[in-house]
Amino acid sequence: MTTDTVGTLMRTGEIEWSATGGLRFHGTAQAVFQWLDAAFERLAREHGAQPQPAPEAIAGDTLERAGYFEAFPGMGIPARSGAAMWLPPAVCYHAYPDLAGEPLDATRLVTLACGCGRNEPVAPEDPGRLQRFRMREIVFVGSPAAVTAERDAWMARGQAFATAIGLVSTLVPATDVFFGAAGRGQRLIQQLKGLKYELRLDAGPAGNIAAASFNLHESFFARRFDIHLSDGAFAASGCAAFGIERWTLAALAQLEPEAAAGLARRGES
Amino acid sequence: MTAFTDALLRFVREDLLKGRDVAIDPDTYLFADGVVDSLGILTLIAFVEQQCGRPIPDSEIVMEHFRSIRAIAHHFQRAS
């Protein structure tokens, strides 16, 4: 599209900032959001991922164990003042504690979604960077080879899904460190091993944004949460993550109004 | 084995692994668990820069050039 649909919707109030640094959608935008949210859940279930509940708050102990506070100091948002609960910075942190204990004899796939929170700097002119957002993830745990194959399959599925609904996307290696200690060393290891890829979409005033990421954690989380394979080795893990607000902005920015309205009608039904 | 390959092998065995019981030869994959970690990669890059006498930009740090000691020697000997 040549017109700035997202900018127009922000001016008319169909998309608005919430007081907590998230976006509120109304009308067609809300229906597109709902359709995308449901579509990613469907995609996950169709490919064998077991749905798992994901509360809107997570224990500080779990994030501590995952190394989150060390890797991303200052990025956590408390869920309630005085309580040891936090907004999940990513929904996959809910998955690892439940995978501990029983040795895995096959690759395990779970899918979760919830509202997440990160203390990101936000600017009114950039609706792509949010402090509150909804994320759907598919988490896979198993042998390194099986997890890599699953991650690669999800990269292809993510891009095929974008194409199927008419979005132009690019799949690129990511440069931001997403687990473990931040720094040049970790970033270069991530680059060398191809641990993280992003699916980027044009989203009007939000620019070209990473709307999905496809990640390999190697044994990082398995070591912290004691997740083992049946031969006693630590499992590998990986995930595919979809940011629903970012997909919504991209759909509204890239699609012709009638195509966006088509998604919206499917979201309302 | 070239002098560069030999120096790299000695460096990885003595400085990176520091006597840990990991068998290393010129074709060993360097990024398996327990060989080169995020600190080790920085030390390794510094050593290669010193050996080839030029800084190595991040864009050149790709698996094709760093998979093994032989791959490092092949690329950086030729490119320096």
CB B38 to CB A191 under 8 A?
Answer: no
The CATH number for A5-56+88-268, chosen from 3.90.1170.50, 3.50.50.60, 3.30.930.10, 3.40.50.2300, is 3.30.930.10
Q: What's the pLDDT tens digit per position in A191-211?
A: 888 899 999 999 988 889 999
- Which residues from chain A sit within 8 angstroms of residue B33, using beta carbons? 218-219
Which one-letter amino acid corresponds to residue A190?
Q
Taken in order A178, A181, A184, A190, the sign of the CA dihedral is: negative
Q: Cβ distance A216 to A87 under 8 Å?
A: no
- Give pLDDT, residue A267: 72
* pLDDT score of A89 more than 50: yes
* pLDDT score of A182 more than 70: no
pLDDT band at A269 (very low <50, low <70, confident <90, very high): low
pLDDT band at B39 (very low <50, low <70, confident <90, very high): confident
Q: How many residues are recorded in chain A?
A: 269
Q: What's the pLDDT tens digit per position in A149-177?
A: 999 999 999 999 999 999 999 999 887 76
What is the CA A145 to chain-centroid distance, rounded? Answer: 22
* A·B CB contacts under 8 A: 37
Percent of chain B with pLDDT over 90: 57
Residues of B with CB under 8 A from a CB of A: 31, 33, 36-42, 45, 58, 61-63, 66
Ordered DSSP codes for B1-61: --HHHHHHHHHIIIIISTT-S----TTS-TTSTTSS-HHHHHHHHHHHHHHHTS---GGG-
Q: Tell me which chain A residue has its CA closest to the CA of residue B29.
A: A193
Tell me which residue in B36, B38, B58 faces A186 most closely, judged by beta carbons: B38
Could you give the CA distance from residue A243 to residue B39 in angstroms, rounded to a whole number?
32
CB A218 to CB B41 under 8 A?
Answer: no
Could you give the CA distance from residue A172 to residue A191 in angstroms, rounded to a whole number?
11
Percent of chain A with pLDDT over 70: 96
- Give pLDDT, residue A104: 92
Which residue, A52, A1, A6, A4, is CA-closest to A245?
A6
- Give pLDDT, residue A260: 86
Task: State phi, psi for A61 to the nearest 5 degrees.
Answer: -60, -40
Rounded to two decimals, the ipTM of the complex is 0.83
> Which of A31-40, A51-60, A141-150, B39-48 is least confident?
B39-48
Tell me which residue in A180, A191, A219 faces B61 most closely, judged by beta carbons: A191
- Give pLDDT, residue A190: 86
Percent of chain B with pLDDT over 70: 92
What's the whole-number mean pLDDT along residues A252-267?
A: 87
The domain B3-79: what is its CATH number? 1.10.1200.10
0.80 surpassed by pTM: yes
Test mutation, B35, B38, B59, B60, chain A, max A CBs within 10 A? B38
Domain boundaries, chain B: 3-79
